[in-house]
Structure 1
Amino acid sequence: MAHPVTVTAEHPLDGLGLRAAGPPALTAVAARHLALLGADDLGSTASDGPGIVSLAGTDARLLTAEIVWARLAPAEEVSDEATAQAATGVAHVHGRRDGEPRGLAADYLTTACSVLAVQGLLAALIGRARGCAVETVRTGVDLAGLLAVGQYLAAATAADEEAAPLAPGGPPFTTADGVCFEVETLDPAAWVAFWRFLGVAERLAGSAWRSFQFRYATACCPLPGELPARARAADWALVLRAAAESGASVCALRSLTDRLAEPRPAAPWRLSPLLPVAGPPSPGAAAETARPLAGFTVLEAGRRIQAPLTAHLLGLLGADVVRVEPPGGDPLRGMPPMCGDLSARWLALNRGKRAVEIDIKSAAGRAALRDLVAGADVFVHNWAPGTAERLGLDDGDLSAVNPALVYAYTSGWAGRLADVPLGTDFMVQARTGVGEAVRPAGEAPAPSLMTLLDVLGGLLGAQAVLAGLLLRERGGHGVRVDSSLLGAAEVLTAPALRRAAEGGACRAPEGFRRPLRTADGWVSVADGPAGQAGAACPGMLADLTQSTAMTSAEVLAMLRSRGLRATTVTTALDTLGADPRFASALTRDEHGALAVPAPWRFA
């Protein structure tokens, strides 16, 4: 069915004024996204203290988001991006591929926290329209960090062992003619065929599949040495032939400079209001003060991380989430490690959701899905491109059933780039220069094996849905919202691309956010104007050349006595539940899985 007629794109925050105050690191991304949604930017003031982003309309009812570095942890422990990554385990997970903790050179957690702040403001505005008296939304960069490692944390604290070994190693690969590339497939037969074409024995290639398959879950991928050796013996033309013959997808790593030559939209989402067919939006039930989406129903047909995380966040905001699974249930329910009879990772994204099994490939199943859509406020999915249209479940089809529906598609590429590989996290990282942005100069560009874009893409998906719901409240019609992993990559790399466009160095200096090894662990030094993140650089902290002979407590005491901010690095996620920085906020669900707290506080 063709898309219904769309009206001119609207902005859900038209008529609202926006002011920001505090550290730009905490407020800049949030202010930019709010302005893209239509708020009139009335200026910002840089200062110390918390980040404050405020919205006000003609009724003078102020709505404020307060963003701090540490909402849970002590302020002396988490005081910037570097220490937030270190304390929450992000540096540990990102560093698994390399065998030691390493901070992301991009400001991942402040970006994620800004998106959470915008989510909170949008949710509060929706709640206000339904009688919810919210004045303040509070969030913290440390909360964003816990959310980012939520799946890894749940797995690390489960009673069962991991599905695949946690050991250093993994893609990308390099060819004989110097092309650095990623390979992707969801089919073990295609994986084996790809390597067999390059001369790897079938049994050896097959033995590597499990580690490769579970790299999304473990953030590392130890592989037999013959695989990278065979890649180095082949030229890029032969690798392309191997991919074509096997059905695997390959992508050469692109640089940030390459991305400068390609068009990029201002916003990482697209809102397309749909011309109403009949009837106003369903008002839903009265909202609770602490749960502004109470009374809303979200129907989710997602897999892996991106769409399930989008729906999970909407559920944390109070929506009733109904998950559509194939007959027999989601196979990922059985993905080890387990908590009872459910996967710890699956619970991290899907706890609290109701589930219904529907075969969308059958006419009866599609009819059942349409019946559910008729009573829903939101339908979100991340099916492969063309699937919704082929099955008659695109926005045009479903808006005919429910004209007030917010139809959300969380995709890989958003249909914006030609000749792209599979739209998965690591392939999008490779294609968009993320592999360069997250690693400092002196390190070879390489996509992180932490699912950076799946998580950030899920956050942006929830932000887009909330914008669509607010637009529906204000305009009285359904909305299609599109978000993508590509959009997430563009948000994350935007600062580096701006530096490159201005002729500056797009990559951070060598050694940036490299923790210091101590006698009993690791310490991360805060970023600062004096280059404190380069603590190991010659001349900066000469007394720390012997840090490996000192305990972490001794190193911290020395740093703090000199006015430097630092924290210990979490290097074992299974200890985070007892870590005094976060223990009070981490709980166990009814299955025994560790759960991270909701990232907002409403008042």
Structure 2
Amino acid sequence: MNSIPSDRPLTGLAAGVDGPGALTRLAVRHLAALGADVTGHDAPAATGTAGASPASPTRPPHPRTGPARLRLGDAAEIELSWSEDPEATGITDEATAQAATGVMAVNGRRTGAGPRPLTLDYTTALAEVLAVAGLLAGVHAHRRAGTPLRLAATVERAGLLAVSQYLAAAGAPEAEAVPLDPGGATFTSADGTAFEIEALSAEVWARFWRAVGAPEPAVRAGWAPFQFRYATACSALPADLRAAARALPWERLRAAADASGAGICELVTLERRRAEIGAAPAPLWTLRALGATGPAPAPAAGRAGAPASSAPAPLAGVTVVEAGRRIQAPLCAHLLGLLGARVVRVEPPGGDPLRAMPPVTGGVSARWLALNRGKDAVEIDIKTPQGRADLRELVSRADVFCHNWAPGRAESLGLAAADLAAANPRLVYVHTSGWADAVPDAPPGTDFMVQARSGLADALSPVGASTAPSLMTLLDILGGALGAQTVVAALLAADRRGGAVAAESSLLGAADTLLHDLLSGPPAVVDPRRFAEGFRAPLRTADGWVAPADGDADDAALLTAAVADAPTGDALRMLRDKGLSATAALGDIAALPTDPRYAARLPRDSHGAIAVPNVWSQV
């Protein structure tokens, strides 16, 4: 019997880390959580300060230095840097990465006031999660083929992945389904409780608002911008809806939600969340063996020492069956496909309705292509006995099954982990969930509800700004990346133990990845909300914006008046002549394909949709 714990598949493997801590703290923590023995100058970061604001007194500004390198034994290595060409892109840290890749532009749609920064180190966190996923895939490839694998990833490409669905939609030949008008879906009750609602159908939406006395025209007019907020990152709702919410106390609104089937969630403060969890954030993932385990199979004979450039993609030969909806699970499977896996997408009879979600390019939704390009597809009605039998047969020939169904649905259909493992005793079964059963009486586990309940919305709202979630799907993207990392970790666990593995990642785990220090660090850790509204905010120029690097922001701010009268190019030269680091901040994601930094790097696929570069490259 193999003694490797199913939840720590890297036990016995040495991990090395070299390079700036700003690019490795979170990655080191993830590797240590998976059982690796991490060594290197930044190894103490396994329990350190990833996620604190880079400009805080507890963490120095990001060093604009060379790349970081992470290694797992002699099996795999990944190089992580800010940008492939920092001189050309101006990307040298978190602030400039958000500005150049369009993250600030999309996040700013809610206010309509131009690019709006994220206070937390989001693109860096995403890049580190992706780097670990690539590193684990490299170990999997080494085990199968015996060939060491070297990969590279950048924070820049992580930022492009984060905006990929918005970019694809902006580049489509037709317009959005709703105008991109400023607005959000955070409401306030009569007694001052700020809250989010979730309604996954027009019927539920209408029942809730009728129950609180909203005028019928406002109910009808509000559904489309509310429904499409996941796609547009803004939601211009009628003022009458806000007035109806403000007319009732919180308990009456909760009762209306319960009666209508809508989800409702108070915006929880970081202080409250920290008190609730007792400095124990949600687990990043869970991995557990299913049934009996046996000796791990011997690695296939390989060509140890062969040049990395001759190696196949890390997950070549792996088949993934994905039954996902919205973003989290489809993105998880998309990332596995980028690592070389064959992905078979399970869709309902007639195909995924989201294939027709506007805007459409080449007959297919541009957003759908951003998440599902390159996948095979099969139509199965899992509501019928024959459909469930067909799914079991499909999964019996696969390596991985992943889904993001609502809690209890898999069990009610007889498609839970134990059910499918009976058909495939070496199956990796992964549920990319909302809450991972970590929050009692949780509302629906969707991006903005998890932002609200986890305290993330609070952390993203600096002093001077209203507390509200970002309407950019931050957690769906990070949660999808965390799901991909979980899948590859589970593949390693299944290989080493010789049996099926059930695993779960969650949007709450993604939120707690960003909030780790603020939830589990010492009370003295600086709360990013203490920064004024202008923290990381780009400087206005005569024709756009420039974003100084975090470490140079204070000095650059002294030149605010001077750059305001200058074209963006001149403003950048002015800052750089002063020895400051800065880049042009994108004001509209639609301008990215013609931006000189990216014009040659954003090709269109066979449908005419813009495709961002693979987040990993082999070197």
TM-score w.r.t. the length of structure 1 is: 0.93
What code does the residue aligned with 2:17 have? A
Q: Does 1:432 align with 2:451?
A: no
**Percent identical across equivalent pairs?**
53
**What is the rounded CA distance, in whole Å, between the counterparts of 1:543 and 1:499 in structure 2?**
36
**Counterpart pick for 1:30 among 14, 27, 31:** 27
- Specify the alignment match of 1:304 in structure 2: 326
- Specify the alignment match of 1:526 in structure 2: 549
CA gap of 1:371–1:315, structure 2 versus 1, over 3 A, is same
What's the secondary structure of 1:583's corresponding residue?
coil
**Counterpart pick for 1:170 among 179, 184, 191:** 184
CA gap of 1:508–1:595, structure 2 versus 1, over 3 A, is farther
**What is the rounded CA distance, in whole Å, between the counterparts of 2:196 and 2:237 in structure 1?**
14
What's the secondary structure of 1:136's corresponding residue?
strand
**What is the rounded CA distance, in whole Å, between the counterparts of 2:477 and 2:355 in structure 1?**
19
What's the secondary structure of 2:515's corresponding residue?
helix
What's the secondary structure of 1:507's corresponding residue?
helix
What's the secondary structure of 1:413's corresponding residue?
coil
Query: CA shift at 1:41, angstroms?
Result: 2.0
- The number of aligned residues is 588
**What is the rounded CA distance, in whole Å, between the counterparts of 1:286 and 1:330 in structure 2?**
40
1:54-103 deviations in whole A, cap 9, x for unaligned? 3354xxx2632211111255366101101100000000101100112111
1:336-367 deviations in whole A, cap 9, x for unaligned? 00012110000000011000000101110011
What code does the residue aligned with 1:235 have? P
Structure 1 spans left out of the alignment, 5+ residues: 1-5
- Specify the alignment match of 1:372 in structure 2: 394
Q: Superposition pairs for residues 288-327 of structure 1, below 5 Å?
A: 289-327=311-349
RMSD: 2.3
**Counterpart pick for 1:260 among 266, 271, 274:** 274
What code does the residue aligned with 1:566 have? A
Q: Does 1:415 align with 2:428?
A: no
What's the secondary structure of 1:428's corresponding residue?
helix
Query: CA shift at 1:24, angstroms?
Result: 1.1
- Specify the alignment match of 1:191 in structure 2: 205
Q: Does 1:541 align with 2:578?
A: no
Query: CA shift at 1:276, angstroms?
Result: 3.6
**What is the rounded CA distance, in whole Å, between the counterparts of 2:429 and 2:521 in structure 1?**
36
Range 427-436 or range 551-560, more displaced: 551-560
- Specify the alignment match of 1:3 in structure 2: none
Q: Does 1:567 align with 2:589?
A: no
- Specify the alignment match of 1:596 in structure 2: 612
**What is the rounded CA distance, in whole Å, between the counterparts of 1:86 and 1:159 in structure 2?**
25
Structure 2 spans left out of the alignment, 5+ residues: 44-62, 304-309
Contact map agreement 2:145 2:299 (CA 8 A) in 1: no
- Specify the alignment match of 1:474 in structure 2: 496
**What is the rounded CA distance, in whole Å, between the counterparts of 2:193 and 2:281 in structure 1?**
28
**What is the rounded CA distance, in whole Å, between the counterparts of 2:322 and 2:295 in structure 1?**
23
What's the secondary structure of 2:41's corresponding residue?
strand
1:266-308 deviations in whole A, cap 9, x for unaligned? 7410111223479977989999724111111000000000000
Range 258-267 or range 124-133, more displaced: 258-267
- Specify the alignment match of 2:60 in structure 1: none
**What is the rounded CA distance, in whole Å, between the counterparts of 2:585 and 2:217 in structure 1?**
39
**Counterpart pick for 1:19 among 16, 22, 33:** 16
Q: Superposition pairs for residues 199-598 of structure 1, below 5 Å?
A: 199-263=213-277, 264-265=280-281, 267-276=283-292, 289-498=311-520, 501-502=523-524, 504-510=526-532, 511-528=534-551, 532-533=552-553, 541-598=557-614
What code does the residue aligned with 2:8 have? H
**What is the rounded CA distance, in whole Å, between the counterparts of 2:281 and 2:141 in structure 1?**
30
**What is the rounded CA distance, in whole Å, between the counterparts of 1:429 and 1:190 in structure 2?**
21
Query: CA shift at 1:542, angstroms?
Result: 3.1
**What is the rounded CA distance, in whole Å, between the counterparts of 1:494 and 1:378 in structure 2?**
29
Contact map agreement 1:15 1:39 (CA 8 A) in 2: yes
**What is the rounded CA distance, in whole Å, between the counterparts of 2:240 and 2:617 in structure 1?**
51
Query: CA shift at 1:449, angstroms?
Result: 0.2
CA gap of 1:40–1:283, structure 2 versus 1, over 3 A, is closer
Query: CA shift at 1:503, angstroms?
Result: 5.9
CA gap of 1:557–1:600, structure 2 versus 1, over 3 A, is same
Query: CA shift at 1:135, angstroms?
Result: 3.7
- Specify the alignment match of 1:91 in structure 2: 104
What code does the residue aligned with 1:38 have? G
CA gap of 1:355–1:76, structure 2 versus 1, over 3 A, is closer
